Amino acid sequence: MLTRFPSTVFISSHNSTLYQKMQFTKMHGAGNDYVYIDCFQEPTPADPAALAVSVADRHKGIGSDGLILICPSEVADAEMRMFNADGSESAMCGNGIRCVAKYVFDHEICQKSHMTIQTGAGILALDVEHENGKVQQVRVDMGEPILLAAEIPTTLAGNPEVNHHVINVPLSVGGHEFAVNCVSMGNPHCVIFVDKATDDLVLRIGSQIESDARFPERVNVEFVEIVSPTEVRQRTWERGSGETMACGTGASAVCVAGVLSGKTERKITNHLLGGTLLIEWDESTNHVFMTGPATEVFRGVWDD
């Protein structure tokens, strides 16, 4: 049973009685949507992996790409823990962390224009743009890209022409021959530049590459069309979630791969299915910066 109220959704598995068990907030960054739990106010779920599977179900749950916990931190303004729709935990989510920053600011947990969020990939710095007490856009310092094959990780051999990084390296999957580019932004990505990011490539080949043995921790797969040296279009098959409307760490990896493969400049506009992100790989610091929106959709109570 689902009953809508002005800004709140109550979801119950019972037909006549409403049980308020856990408050949640549904948010998205460029269409990459997650269910967020405020663990400053709510107890940390006993089994967040199982909860992620339940809430992510778009037919029987709330519907999302996964679950994100917003937790207290001893070393940052807040901590983010991110679980994919299949229950697997990932170290980072670029679109998710922007929404965490919005939630933390909008709900007065930390109302600083410059804040830090602890993640599985380290502590990241974020700058928020706000209007009338609400965050509209967030710039994230995504840190330095990881390019060593063993640290991504992948067993693909590096290209000696580009410092033995996995750039323009041959990969044969599902009857296709690709030149792939592997980058980690706290989680592993396989970036493939194509003339057209078709459904067959994204949905069929993307899923095969995700679980390919040459990626021992599985991998996120980006199929990218080059519009110009400063503009691309991206579709992502995300590890543990399938195709998503956007992927922030993937968009960051695309910028790095584009520069190293000679296809893009260091500052690009990346058009994803759910929106547009601005990405810059700063040469002086070696850090990747991502700027994009963060949106709250609705709040509710989950009774499982």
301 residue type, one letter: V
Q: Output the CA angle 257-65-274, nearest 5 degrees.
A: 60
H/E segment holding residue 251 = helix 248-260
Q: Are 192 and 253 in contact (CB under 8 A)?
A: no
Q: Which two structure tokens, joined as six digits, stand for 243?
A: 């195709």
For the record, the structure tokens of 181 come out as 């580019």
Cα–Cα–Cα angle for 124, 248, 105, nearest 5°? Answer: 50
Walking along the chain (304 residues) 10 residues at a time, the average pLDDT comes out as 39 41 95 97 95 96 97 98 97 97 97 97 97 95 97 96 96 96 97 98 98 98 98 98 97 98 98 98 98 97 85
Nearest to 233 by CA among 263, 188, 200: 263
Q: Which two tokens stand for residue 46?
A: 């006993």
Residue 9 has a pLDDT of 45
In the chain, count H helices and then E strands: 5, 20
Residue reference for tokens 């710095």: 125
Answer yes or no: are the C-beta atoms of 140 and 80 closer than 8 Å. no
Residue 303 pLDDT:
84
Alpha helices (H) in 36-186, listed in sequence order:
48-56, 94-106
Residues 215, 217, 218, 221: is their CA dihedral positive or negative? Answer: negative
- Residue 304: the pLDDT is 67
Fold classification of 2-141+293-302 (topology level)? Diaminopimelate Epimerase; Chain A, domain 1 (3.10.310)
> Tokens 């396989």 map to which residue?
190
Q: Could you check whether 2-141+293-302 and 149-286 share the same CATH topology?
A: yes
- Residues 10-62: pLDDT tens digits? 444 443 333 448 999 999 999 999 999 999 999 999 999 999 999 999 999 99
Sorted by where each begins, the domain ranges of the chain are 2-141+293-302, 149-286
Q: Which residues are catalytic?
A: 93, 247
Q: What pTM did the predictor assign?
A: 0.89
CATH class, domain 149-286, is alpha beta
- What pairs with residue 181 in β-bridges? 191
Phi-psi region of 203 (alpha: psi -120 to 50; beta: other; left: phi over 0): alpha
The amino acid at residue 78 is: A
User: Rounded to an integer, what distance in angstroms lies between the CA atom of residue 178 and that of residue 119?
Assistant: 32
**CB contact at 8 A, 257 and 241:** no
Alpha carbon distance 111, 102 (integer Å): 10
Burial (Cβ within 10 Å: 0-12, 13-18, ≥19) of residue 88: middle
CA triple 104-107-110, angle to 5 deg: 45
**Dihedrals φ, ψ of 111, to 5°?**
-105, 65
